[in-house]
Structure 1
Amino acid sequence: MKRKMEEDIPTPTEPPSAKQPRQSMARSVSACVRCRKRKSKCDQKFPSCSRCLAAGVVCMGLDAATKREIPRSYVSHLESRIAALEGKLDDAGIDYSDLDTPAASVPIPKPIQTTGTATTPTTSSTATHEDGKNTAPVADLMENVEKASRASHSSTGQDLSFAKLLLTAVKLRAKTKSDRTTPTTTQTQYEACKTLPSKRDAEKRLSQYFCQANSQIPIFHRELFIKNYFVPIYGPFSPGISLASDYTTVEVDAGEAQPVEQPIITSDTPQIPLYFLFIVFGCATSVHQQLYPAGVSESYHQAAMEHIDSAFASANRLEALQAMLVLCLFSIMRPTVPGVWYTLSMALRLCIDLGLHIETSNNRVTDGFDLDMRRRLFWCTYMLDRQICVYLGRPFGIPEDSIRVPFFSELDDSLIVPRNNVDYSLMTSPGGIKSYKYISLAFARVRQIQAEIQRMMFEFTEIPRRFATFADWFQDVCTRLDEWMDSCPNTNLQTNCGFTTTFFALNYHQSRLLLYGVGPKNPSPSAYSLECVLEASKGIMTKYHSLHQIMSINYTWVAVHNLFIAGTCFLYAVYNSLVSGQQLISREDYETVSKQCVVVLDSLIGRCNAAQVCHDTFELLSAAVFKMCFKGGSVLRKVSKDGLVEVIQNHDKRFSHLGALVEQVPDNWNDDRRKKHQKPVEVPVPDLDDFFKEAQNPPNMEMTASLEEPLPYAYSGEVSPQQEDLYSLMSEVPLGSIWDQYFKEGAGGGPR
C-alpha cells in the first residue's frame, strides 16, 4: 500500500481571508496532467490534488489559453502575492483603485533597474487591436508585478531571477562565439598507431592504468591480464613494477616465453591481446591527459579498433564483456566512435544476457575465481551505468530492484585463484594487507548512494518502506554519505597503490550538491540548503583545481559538466543568500573560487567541446553576480601604519606596548609585504553594460541558440513558472555539446 510522502516543496501561503484580491484569476477545473496520464480520478484540489500531494510531486495543469503545462499552485501563489502587495500599499496609504480597470487597459510598468548596472530605463511596447485599444497580455503585467515584489523584499535591490541571469549569459555568449576560435578534439583526425611501445614504456602504461583506472573500475584481474595479454606479446613481466601492488608482488608464470623489448606486429600476432593492450594504453595516457598530446590516446584507440571484432566475438563471453567495458571506460575519457551511450548499452545487454545481475541456485557457478569475476564485471557495468546516468539525469539501465548479487571480493588479485566451492567475498585479507579493491568497493557504494539520491530527488520514487517520512530518508542518506566519506581509504598502505584520493572528496561534494541543490524536489532551497550548496560547490571547484595543478583530470566531459554545475550552483547560492540578507562568503573567497573554476575550464578547452561554452558563460555570469552582490571594490586593502597601531592598542591594554614597535616599521611596509607574499587574484571582468541591458529585456529568450544542436529535451528558454527546477537549465548548457561529442553514435574524433 502506498504511503504518503512528506511534501518537501514549499507550498504557497494562502491569501488572508480578510483581504482578497479585487480581481481573481480564472482557474482551470480540468484534471491534472499526472492523473490524466495515469487515467486516475483527480479531485482537482488547489494548490495540489490529493494524488500528487501523496506522491510528493508538483501538481501540473494545462493553461486554458496556451495549453502549456503549469503548476496548479502557481495561480494561488500569484493571488497570495497580489494580496500581500495590496496589503503593503494599504499600509503605505497608496491608492490603487485605478487597477480595477480591465487588465487590457493597464499600461505595463517600466522594468526595474538593477543596482550597479549601466542600463537606462526602457518602456515596453504594447500591442493594440485595430480599434486602438491596448492589449498588453496579463502575463507581462504579472511578470512586472513579480519583479516589483522581488525588489521590495530584496535588501540588495536585485529584481532579476538567477535563471534570467544565466540565460542572459548564455545568449550573449552565443552572440560572440563566432569571434572565438576554439580548437576541439573532433577537428583533428588521428591515424592508428602502427607499432607497439617498447616493453619499458608498455609496463609504465600498465602501471598507470592499474593504479588510477583499474582501481576505480576493476575490469581486469591483474595476474590474468598479464598472463593472457602481456606475456604473449612482450614475454615475462619485469619484477619490481607496481600494478596497484605497492606492498604485494606480481607473480605470473610466463612458461617458456622470452622477453621482447620491441615487439613487431605481424599477421601471426594474436588479435585479442593486441586489442586489450592498445585500448589499455589509450586509457593509461588519458588518465593524465593533460600531460600528453591528444593524439597519443587517440592513436592507441584507433589501433585497438582494428582488432575489436576478435575481442567482441570471443568465445569467452566474460572476455567479450571486458572488451566492451574497457572501451566504454575510454569513451568516458575521450570522444569515440560509437559514442559511450551505445557502448554502455551493449555492455548492459550482455551483462543481463549472462545473468550477472542476479545470483540464483540455478546460475551460480562453483569455481571461486569465476564467481568473483562474474560479480566484478557486473559491478563494473553498474558503476559505469550509474555514473553516466546520474550526471545526465537519465533512467538507469538495470533497475535497483532487479539486482541480486553481492559485492566482489576485497582480496588482492594474487590471492584469487581457481578453486571449487569457495566464495572469496567472505574472506578477509591475511595479515591486514589491503588491496586496490578497497578503492573499487568504495566507488561501488557511493554509486549506490548517488543512484538512490537521483531516484528520490529527481524521479520522485516512493520512499523505502523502512522510513516513515521523506525527512527520515533524507536524514538517513546524509548520515550514510558522511559515514562513506569517513570510511574511504586515504593512504597508499590502505590502497596498495598511489591512487589519487581527491576523487573521493569530489564524489562526496557532488552527492551533497544533488541532495541540497535546486531540483524538482527542492525548487527553492532554504537558507541552510544554500549554505550546503555553497560548501559543496566550492569543494568541487577547489578539488578540481588541485587535480589540475597535478595534471590528474582524466574524465574531461565529466569535469566540464561537474565544474559548470558546481559553478552555477555556487553563484546561485551567493546571489540568493544576499537577496535574503545573508553573506555566506567573503569577496576574497568569491574571487578566488571563481578564478579557480575559470582556470580549470580554460585548461579543458580543446579537450571537450563544451568547455568553451561553459568557460565563457561562467566567466560572464560570475562577473555579473560579483558586481550585483559585492558592489565592486579591491580585494587587497592597504592597511596604514597608524591604523594598525590603533587596532593593537584598542584590542587589549596588555598589548599597548606593541604600538611603539609598530611605530618603527617603515611607512611602506604593507606594500613590500604585498609584493612578496600576496598576489592579487585577477578575475576577468567583461563589459557588463550589454549584459544588464539584455537582462532587462522581456524574458522570452532562445537559449538553445547557443547550442550546436538542441537536445530533444532542451529547455524552452523562457523564465517562467513552467521551469520546474533550475538544475535542468544549468545542465543544458554543457550537455548540448557533450551529447554531440560523447554520446551520439557518430560522435568523436578520428577517422570514421
Structure 2
Amino acid sequence: MHRAGQSAADTPLLRVSRPVSACSRCEFNRSSAGKQRANIVHTGRAAKIKIIKCDGKLPACTACEKSGRVKECSSANDQFAKGKERSYVASLESRVEKLEKRLAYAKLRKASVAMHDVDGLPTELPDRKDSLATIRAAIHGKAARKREAADVNELVSDFGFLTVHATTRDFEASTTNMTFARLILSATTNDEVPEPRSLQLPQRFVATTLVQYYLDNIFALFPVFPETALFNAMDKIYQGGSQPVTDFEYWIFYMALAISSTAQSRSNTDAYYHEGVSWIGRALTYADEVLVPGYVSQIQALVLFVQYAMLDPAHFDSWQLIGFACRAIIDLGLHQDLPKEQQTDKNAVDMRRRVFYCVYTLDRSISMVHARAFAFTDDSSSVAYPSMPVTVLNRDRKDSVSGPQSMETAHLLWQLRRAQSSWYQELFQSSREPLPQGSNYIWRMCQEMREWSDSFPDSLPIVFKDYFDLELLYSYVYCLAPSCRVHVVSDYAKGLIFEYAIAYMQKIFPISQDPINTAFYTYHDALRVYFVGSQLMAVLSNNQDQLLSGIAMSYPPAGIGSPPPMPPPSINGTDSTNRSLNCIHHIKETLRTFGQRWEDSKALLSSFEAQAEPVIASLYMRKQLTKDGSPARHSPPYLQQAGYDQRVYHIKNEWADVNPVFNNQNMH
C-alpha cells in the first residue's frame, strides 16, 4: 500500500534483469568473422575483417536497423521462447519509458502551478474565469493521477508475473531435486510410506465399489472437484491406454481408492488398511506433477491428501497439510469472490467456491480438535455459498457408480463450520480480556447451532444425521467449556456439559462398535471423544454433589434482549450415578476400539484412565452409600476438587499457556 501523500509512481520499482543476448544475425556475423580470421592466419593473406558487435538494443539492435533487417532481429535462450524474449522485454521497457515521460510532464505541470508568491497576499480577487480554469485543472490532474496509478499497478503486476514464474521454476524436477511436492512431503510425513506391493489395477468391480463408497460417504461432504472428473478418470484408466490419462486423473483415482479402503478399516493390521497404504503409495508417484503451485488442481489434490491423512495419522500430519492448502487458497485469491463483472461462467464460479469451502471446512475442523489457530480469519475471507443444484440420486445403475450426488449435505456442513468458526475465534483467538456478558453470547451461539440442526431436511440420510448430531453435541460441550474469554463457568453450564457429554457418548459408542464404517469418522473423532471425556471428568470432580443429586437444574435468568439459556437434553429414568459410570465405560471402550486403528488413541486412553480413576472410585462409593440407605451428600474427601476455571485439553504443546484441570504427563 502507498503511504499518504505519495504518488504511486514514487514508490520503488521492481527490478528485473534483462536476459537479452546478442541477436541471431550479429551472432552469425561474429562467428563468420572468426572463421575468416582463422582462414587468414592459415593462408597468410592480409585483409581487414570488421567484427560487428551487437549492442542488444530493443526491439532491434543498431546493426539490424542500419541493414534494414529489423524484423529478423531476434534471439532465443533458455529463459524465453524464441521470438518472444525481445518483444516482451521491449514492451516492458517501452511502458516504463512512456510512464517516465508522463511523470516528467506531470511534475513540470505541478511546478508551473506552484510558481506563485506564497508570501504575499493577493491584491485582487481572481475572476470567475480563472476559478473555473483552476477547478478544471484540478479535475484533470486527479484523473491523470488515477491513470498514472493504474498504469503503474499494471506494470508492477507484469513484473509480478515474471517473478512468480521465476520462483516456480525453482521447484521444477528438471532444474532441481527439491520439487514443491517433495517439500510438502518432507514437512508432513510422519513415517515413510512403503513402496506399492503391486502395480496392477484392481478388478473393475472392486474399483467401482471403492469409488461408490467414496462418493456416498466422503465426496458428499467435500465436493472439491466435479463428480464427472472421477468418472472420466476411472473410465480412461480402465480403457487400456486408448485415451491419454493425465497425472491429476491418476491422482484422484488412486486417492479415492486409498481413502475408501482406509475409511473401511477396523484395524491397522487388516487388509483394508494395507490396501489403503498401497494405493496412497501409487498416488504419490504423481505428486511432483500434481502438487505444482499456482493451479486450482493443486488445492483439489491437497484436499484429498488431507482426507487420507485424517484416516492415517501414523504416516501423515493433516494439520500441516491443511496449512499448505490454505496458503494455496490465499495465493490464488480463492478466499475472495470475483467481482460481479468477472463472474461470467456460473459453473466455474461455483467450483471456485466449492474448493474454498472444502478447504475452509477442513481447516476449521482440524484446528479445533488440535486447539490451534485457524489458518485465516473469517474477516479476511468473503465467499458466498455455492449454488445448490436440484439433483436426483440414481441408485438403480448397475456396474457403475451412481450419481450425481446431492449438495445438501455439504451445504449443511459448511453452515455448521461457519457457526463454529465464529464462536471459536471470539472465545479462543480474539483476546484474553473477559468477554462482557459472556453467558449471553454463549446462549446466542448455541441457539444458532440449534436452529441449524432444526433445518435438517427429511431427505437427509440417517448416517449423515447421526454425523451432524455428534458435531452438534460436541460443539455444545466445546462452546460451554472454559475459554480464554469466559474463565468462570456457571453451575447451570456445568450441568449442560454433563448432560451433553453423556448424550455425545451414547450416540458415538454404538457407531464406533459397528463393524461397518459409515460417513467420515477419522482419528479426529478419537480426539473429540477424549476432549468430551476430559470435560466430563472436570465437572464431576468439581460439582459431583450438585450433578448427581437428582434435583432438576433451574434455569438462570435471561438478560434483556438475549436468548434464553440452552435447555438440557431429554434424560431417561436412570439415576445420574449409573449414567456417569456407563458414560465413563463408553469413553474407555470407544478409545480402546479406536486404538485398534490408530496408535495415538492408545495414549489418549491411558491419559483418560488416569483422569477417571479417582472419579470412578468416588462414584462407586456414592453408589454404595446410596444402596446402604445413607445418601451421600458430599464427595469423598480423597477426591481431588480441581478448579474449573480454565480450558481442559491435554495435547502437548497445544495451548501451553492455558492451565488444564488435569495435567497430563503421558501424552506425546
Short-chain TM bin: 0.5 to 0.7
Among 194, 200, 208, the residue aligned to 2:205: 200
Matched residues, number: 428
CA contact (8 A) 1:556 1:604 kept: no
TM superposition shift of 1:266: 12
Q: Deviations over 1:554-601 (max 9, x none)?
A: 544312211111112112222222255753652322222111111111
TM superposition shift of 1:374: 0.3
Among 549, 554, 563, the residue aligned to 1:583: 549
**Match status 1:395 vs 2:399:** no
CA distance in 2, matches of 1:340, 1:576: 35
TM superposition shift of 1:514: 1.4
CA contact (8 A) 1:453 1:514 kept: no
Among 511, 529, 534, the residue aligned to 1:547: 511
CA contact (8 A) 1:215 1:437 kept: yes
**Structure index of larger Rg:** 2
Query: What RMSD over aligned residues (CA atoms) do the two structures have, in Å?
Result: 4.0
TM superposition shift of 1:224: 3.1
Matched residue, 2:348: 370
Q: Deviations over 1:444-484 (max 9, x none)?
A: 11111111121122224599xxx995454333212111101
| TM-score, normalisation: structure 2 | 0.57
Classify 1:274/1:414 alpha carbon distance in 2 versus 1 (closer, same or farther; 3 Å): farther
Classify 1:485/1:561 alpha carbon distance in 2 versus 1 (closer, same or farther; 3 Å): same
**Match status 1:233 vs 2:223:** no
The letter of the residue matching 1:303 is R
Classify 1:364/1:269 alpha carbon distance in 2 versus 1 (closer, same or farther; 3 Å): closer
Where structure 1 has 5 or more consecutive residues not aligned to the other structure, the ranges are 1-184, 236-262, 416-432, 639-691, 697-702, 716-722, 738-752
Among 381, 385, 388, the residue aligned to 1:407: 385
**Match status 1:506 vs 2:470:** yes
CA distance in 2, matches of 1:446, 1:576: 31
CA contact (8 A) 2:428 2:484 kept: yes
CA contact (8 A) 2:388 2:408 kept: yes
The letter of the residue matching 2:258 is G
**Match status 1:482 vs 2:458:** no
Matched residue, 1:621: 611
TM superposition shift of 1:540: 2.2
Matched residue, 1:275: 251
Alignment of 1:621-640 (within 5 A): 621-631=611-621
TM superposition shift of 1:633: 5.1
The letter of the residue matching 2:201 is L
Alignment of 1:40-439 (within 5 A): 190-192=194-196, 193-227=198-232, 229-235=233-239, 270-290=246-266, 293=271, 294-313=273-292, 317-335=295-313, 339-361=317-339, 364-412=342-390, 436-439=406-409
Matched residue, 1:533: 497
Q: Deviations over 1:33-90 (max 9, x none)?
A: xxxxxxxxxxxxxxxxxxxxxxxxxxxxxxxxxxxxxxxxxxxxxxxxxxxxxxxxxx
Matched residue, 1:563: 529
CA contact (8 A) 1:455 1:461 kept: no
CA distance in 2, matches of 1:231, 1:536: 47
CA contact (8 A) 2:592 2:601 kept: yes
CA contact (8 A) 1:202 1:281 kept: yes
Matched residue, 1:442: 412
Classify 1:547/1:190 alpha carbon distance in 2 versus 1 (closer, same or farther; 3 Å): farther
TM superposition shift of 1:614: 1.7
What SS does the aligned partner of 1:546 have?
A: helix
CA distance in 2, matches of 1:548, 1:635: 34
CA contact (8 A) 2:248 2:297 kept: no
CA distance in 2, matches of 1:339, 1:539: 30
| TM-score, normalisation: structure 1 | 0.51
Classify 1:337/1:290 alpha carbon distance in 2 versus 1 (closer, same or farther; 3 Å): closer
Pick 1 or 2: higher relative contact order, CA cutoff 8 A, min separation 6: 1
Classify 1:269/1:374 alpha carbon distance in 2 versus 1 (closer, same or farther; 3 Å): closer
What SS does the aligned partner of 1:545 have?
A: helix
Fraction of identical pairs, as percent: 18
CA distance in 2, matches of 1:186, 1:475: 40
CA contact (8 A) 1:211 1:499 kept: no
The letter of the residue matching 1:450 is Q
Matched residue, 1:165: none
What SS does the aligned partner of 1:290 have?
A: coil
Among 605, 615, 624, the residue aligned to 2:595: 605
Alignment of 1:667-706 (within 5 A): none
CA contact (8 A) 1:537 1:566 kept: yes
Classify 1:275/1:535 alpha carbon distance in 2 versus 1 (closer, same or farther; 3 Å): same
CA contact (8 A) 2:526 2:601 kept: yes
Matched residue, 2:127: none
Classify 1:636/1:468 alpha carbon distance in 2 versus 1 (closer, same or farther; 3 Å): closer
CA distance in 2, matches of 1:286, 1:524: 42
CA distance in 2, matches of 1:506, 1:186: 29
Q: Deviations over 1:113-158 (max 9, x none)?
A: xxxxxxxxxxxxxxxxxxxxxxxxxxxxxxxxxxxxxxxxxxxxxx
